[in-house]
């Protein structure tokens, strides 16, 4: 009997380490260290590049792309910089817009804010002001001429703006937004400008859409408060020199613009159908844009005494296809 007991004790002793090893709890996997960096990027094509109700591409298609590194201090505070580019058709013959921007995005629950600065760079421009260059000393004669419609434009239209934006998300279906932008010299014209806007977005419930698809309706209305240009721009009749009543700069007409449209989303892709318009008449639009395609339309106004009119500020229906990605959400 004693031998049997000793044998049993020995067997238990030998088996215990193996049993204990099998029952050991495996250590939890080490969580990935928090990475505050992210990058957003995307691109697209549109049938007409509209900026605040005015075409930037002469009502022709435009392509665009952007790249935006981000640094998330916390989930509610983000710093960012970015660069984007769009194809354009400007009166000074610039063919590209390059945007350089940066700022900070703090979030307070449903309220997301955005403060920053934006620089619009238009390389490759030429000066067109054949009649006024000798008068005001602007170097236009060497590389420009006066178009038949009498419009003049500077070689460099680049300018910057500071901005503040806010978005309030009510729920997954409804959000509201507002923004204000300020520049001391819109399009390097010498005219200060403040643009204020507000809008709303309504998103269809996911339960009402096929899996992976989305649908939204959005709209915006804004007003651009514009000041007077410097004396490079002035009221003219044909190829004459500056005339009354504004020989020292044009008091641009402030205007209201609005847009409304629907968008269809699938994964990172969006297809947007949108209607744009403004309350600028063709004459005042011509004075503000220096449209090189303007034709005589009889649109005489105080700041457009020559009667040439531009269709750049009128109603437009635009179709845009684009994609938007972030490294953390889409490239893991």
- What is the count of structural domains for the chain? 1
Q: Where do we find the tokens 């260290």?
A: 33
CATH number for 276: 2.40.160.40
**pLDDT confidence of residue 119:** 98
**pLDDT confidence of residue 311:** 97
**pLDDT confidence of residue 8:** 46
| C-alpha to C-alpha distance for 115 and 96, rounded to whole angstroms | 25
Helical ranges in the chain per DSSP H: 2-22, 133-136, 282-289, 327-330
pLDDT by position in tens, the chain (length 332): 444 444 544 544 444 444 444 545 556 666 667 789 999 999 999 999 999 999 999 999 999 999 999 999 999 999 999 999 999 999 999 999 999 999 999 999 999 999 999 999 999 998 887 554 444 444 565 444 566 677 889 999 999 999 999 999 999 999 999 999 999 999 999 999 999 999 999 999 999 999 999 999 999 999 999 999 998 898 876 555 678 889 889 999 999 999 999 999 999 999 999 999 999 999 999 999 999 999 999 999 999 998 999 999 999 999 999 999 998 888 76
**pLDDT confidence of residue 9:** 43
What's the domain range around 229?
2-330
* Cβ within 8 Å of residue 29, ≥6 positions away: none
**pLDDT confidence of residue 94:** 96
Count Cβ atoms below 10 Å from residue 143 Cβ, excluding itself. Answer: 11
Strands of the chain (E only): list them: 37-46, 50-51, 54-55, 62-74, 77-87, 96-108, 111-121, 159-169, 174-183, 193-203, 213-226, 255-266, 269-278, 295-296, 308-309, 316-326
């Amino acid at each position: 009997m004693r031998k049997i007991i000793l044998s049993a004790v020995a067997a238990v002793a030998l088996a215990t380490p193996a049993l204990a090893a099998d029952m050991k709890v495996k250590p939890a996997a080490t969580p990935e260290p928090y990475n505050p960096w992210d990058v957003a990027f995307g691109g697209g094509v549109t049938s007409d590049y509209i900026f605040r109700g005015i075409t930037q591409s002469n009502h022709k298609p435009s392509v665009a792309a952007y790249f935006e590194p981000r640094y998330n201090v916390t989930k509610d505070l983000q710093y960012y910089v970015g660069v984007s580019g769009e194809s354009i058709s400007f009166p000074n013959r610039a063919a590209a817009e390059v945007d350089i921007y940066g700022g900070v995005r703090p979030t307070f629950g449903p309220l997301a804010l955005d403060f920053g600065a934006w620089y619009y760079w238009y390389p490759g421009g030429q000066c067109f002001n054949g009649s006024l260059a000798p008068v005001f000393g602007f170097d236009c004669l060497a590389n420009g001429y006066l178009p038949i419609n009498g419009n003049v434009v500077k070689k460099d239209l680049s300018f910057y703006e500071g901005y503040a934006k806010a978005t309030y998300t009510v729920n997954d279906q409804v959000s509201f937004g507002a923004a204000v932008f300020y520049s001391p010299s819109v399009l390097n014209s010498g005219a200060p400008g403040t643009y204020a806007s507000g809008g709303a977005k309504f998103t269809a419930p996911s339960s009402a859409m096929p899996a992976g698809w989305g649908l939204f309706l959005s709209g915006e209305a804004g007003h651009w408060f514009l000041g007077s240009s410097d004396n490079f721009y002035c009221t003219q009749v044909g190829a004459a020199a500056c005339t009354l009543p504004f020989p020292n700069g044009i008091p641009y007409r402030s205007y209201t613009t609005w847009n409304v449209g629907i968008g269809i989303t699938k994964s990172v892709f969006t297809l947007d159908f949108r209607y744009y318009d403004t309350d600028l008449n063709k004459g005042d639009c011509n004075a503000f844009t220096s449209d090189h395609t303007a034709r005589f339309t009889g649109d005489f106004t105080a700041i457009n005494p020559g009667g040439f009119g531009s269709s750049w500020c009128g109603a437009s229906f635009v179709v845009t296809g684009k994609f938007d990605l972030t490294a953390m959400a889409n490239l893991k």
